Amino acid sequence: MTNYMATSLTHTTILKQSKSLNPRIRALNKVPAIVRLLQMCRSFREVNQLHGQLVVSGLLGRSLNAGRLLESYVKTTQIDYALSIFERIPSPDVFAYNTILRGLTLNNYSYTFVLKACSHLQALSEERDVASWSAMVSGYTKNGKYAEALEVLREMMVTQVPPNESTFVSSLAACAQLRALDQGRWIHAYLVRNRGRISHTLSTALIDMYAKCGCIECAYEVFQNMHHRDIITWGVIISGFAMHGQVQKCFELFQQMVAGGISPNEVIFVSILSACSHAGYVEMGYCCFNKMVHDFGIIPSTEHYGCMVDLLGRAGKLAEAEQLIKSMPEKPNSVIWGSLLNACRTYKDVTRGNRAFRQLMELEPKSGDRYKLAGLMLARAGEKEDAYKMRKFIEENNLKTTRGLSTVEVEGLVQEFVAGDVNHNELREICNILEGLTDY
């Protein structure tokens, strides 16, 4: 932290400085002088200087001053300083928790601390306001705790605190990741019933939720009912149709977007190239790639090259895929080499697959998933002994491999299942319910 100013600062001195800095503050007689100064700060340097003065004057010990200083550090995106202040507050109130959570989640910072702060904030049940609830939902969602985010939303509704737009956007994102269509539909119905016209931001979140939950028709209906569509909205709906393998619809929407005066960005081309890949449209993929570069002046990123490698690999054009990787201006990442290795597994090209595997080992020497994929390639090609050695190597070195994860929504609750796991607490009951549903 920078050197603090050595001069002592009393409340009287702060008040004089605040008046000289901005005459309009004179009307705010009920606001403490130090808070006024902090609200006037526009840079980290100004906040840091006031921090030093608060320390030498002994005024930092007051919870209001500490909370406002914390807020100022968050506003200037100095999250390390904000955390330092927060951890020195003896008994943080709801304002302090709200502020630090907002700063952490906006800056994708400190996964463990965010979850810890959410837990503490939940304990302050009687003091929570809409900002507190929203901060918790957002914090859980951005850190991958989607089920917890939806549980907080349910608690919020029970306490009859009306959610704000931020709460619903985060909740819809959680529904999308969990494929919790019923809960997403409920949020949509609540918005229609209580808000009437749904905002652009919420409409875009609904489109994303419906598309990822497998209901592309509902996503398109929301899209068609929107009065204004920006590049993000177009990207979400095109990505949704790409996810569902409807390449022709992606191109139809693309043409509508361009005709409406909106130029496509890098993200939209990733979606279209991905759709071409899953549909096996090699020539169309090449056409889009060239159009992106020559017609719209977009420099291909690693994601675009990855889509093209995947496209060629799925079509069995492994030599072309490898040559494209070699032509990349940037160093290929593990996703691209992994895509080629997977294609080699499918088409039993052990020689080229081994080259891809060696590249992967340089990038991810301890990735159990890469060894597992190489072993599957060898087994598929009939190299049983080498495949066994690969499996043995994974076991002897305790390398972690990703297990398949799926979710199912039953009676409004989302249940997670891991491949090979038969110890789920409610496995028997859920299976009985699902069997009953198949009778209809």
**pLDDT of residue 18 exceeding 70:** no
**Per the structure block, which two tokens stand in for 26?**
């004179």
For 112-143, the pLDDT digits (tens) are 667 667 776 666 655 567 888 888 898 889 88
Q: What is the pLDDT of residue 439?
A: 46
Q: Which of 56-60, 90-94, 114-118, 408-412 has the lowest mean pLDDT?
A: 408-412
Cα–chain-centroid distance for residue 239? Answer: 16
For 88-100, the pLDDT digits (tens) are 887 787 788 778 7
For 383-407, the pLDDT digits (tens) are 999 889 898 988 888 888 776 556 5
Would you give the end-to-end CA distance of the chain in angstroms?
66
For 321-402, CATH gives 1.25.40
Buried b (16+ CB within 10 A) or exposed e, 298-335: bebeebbbbbbbbbbbbbebbebbbebbeebeeebbbe
Domain boundaries, the chain: 231-299, 321-402, 403-440
Model confidence pTM above 0.85: no
For 308-337, the pLDDT digits (tens) are 999 999 999 999 999 999 999 999 999 999
- Which one has a higher pLDDT value, 400 or 105? 400
Which residue has 């909205």 as its token pair? Answer: 233
Phi, psi of 418 (to 5 degrees): -105, 140
Residues 195/166, Cβ–Cβ less than 8 Å: no
Q: What is the pLDDT of residue 79?
A: 80
